[in-house]
Amino acid sequence: MTTLFVICFLVGLGISAVSLFSSALHVHHGGVHFHGHGHGFGGHHGTGNSLLKNGSEFFGSLFNLAAVTMFLTCFGGVGLLLGRTTSLATVIVAVVAGGAGFAGAAAIVRVLQAMRRRERPLEPIQLVGMVGKLTIPIREGGTGEMVYTVDGKRRCSGARSDDSKRPIPRGTEVVITKYDKGIAYVCEFDRMIAQ
């Protein structure tokens, strides 16, 4: 039984370490995403159906990578600790370790659900009317590139002339008149002012 506890502990710890390391490498792509369902066991009070639904969502969310690795780590760690430091029967050690594993998995699910409840969708950014500068010229009927600043952060986007016929040289200050499918349709700032 000691071998099982060691394997579970090392596998849980190893997967957690790999997950943490890979998320640190890819944090600029939006962070770590844990998949699970539900809003917690006691999120709503009222009818028996909502309690049953919330219970099934909670237990369904126990089967995600974070919960499984936490279960393995706690099960293996507690089982190893109890097996080495006490003279309890193997069955009792396994039951207590299993309980610790489920408690650890439930705790991580609660933390993830609390974090998910605090998430708010990003407000859409209004780009029409934004002023920027061309870094790559727009050829007649072609696509160039522009840079602009949103909330103090520099961004770039593909850019086309708003009438698709005028070439616009590099370095020209432009205004976004339409934004569609990742392309900014622009007009020269001076030309817009003149109109």
Question: Does residue 21 carry a pLDDT above 60?
Answer: yes
150 φ/ψ sector (left φ>0, alpha ψ -120 to 50, else beta): beta
Report d(CA 55, CA 185) in Å as an integer.
50
CATH number at residue 153: 2.40.50.140
Question: Does residue 96 carry a pLDDT above 90?
Answer: yes
Joined tokens for residue 5 = 């506890």
Report d(CA 61, CA 45) in Å as an integer.
19
Radius of gyration of the chain (CA): 28
Residues 108 and 145 in one domain: no
* Residue 126: inside a domain: no
Q: What b/e sequence results for 80-116 when a residue is b if at least 16 CB atoms lie within 10 Å of its CB, and e otherwise? A: bbbbeeeeeeeeebbebbeebbbebbbebbeebbeee
- The mean pLDDT value for 158-181 works out to 86
**Predicted local confidence at residue 56, as pLDDT:** 45
* Residue 125: inside a domain: no
Beta strand ranges found along 30-152 (DSSP E)? 131-136, 144-150
In 3-state terms, what secondary structure has residue 175?
Answer: strand
Which of 62, 95, 118 is at the close of a domain?
Answer: 118
Confidence of residue 51 (pLDDT cuts 50, 70, 90): very low
**Percentage of the residues of the chain whose pLDDT score is greater than 90:** 14
* Residue 149: inside a domain: yes
Cβ proximity of 116 and 156 under 8 Å? no
Cβ proximity of 35 and 101 under 8 Å? no
Residues in the chain: 195
Residue 149 is classified by DSSP as E
Number of domains within the chain: 2
- The mean pLDDT value for 110-129 works out to 77
Q: Which has more pLDDT, 109 or 126?
A: 109
- The mean pLDDT value for 110-131 works out to 78
**Predicted local confidence at residue 61, as pLDDT:** 52
Which of 97, 118, 139 is at the close of a domain?
Answer: 118
Which of 96, 118, 140 is at the close of a domain?
Answer: 118
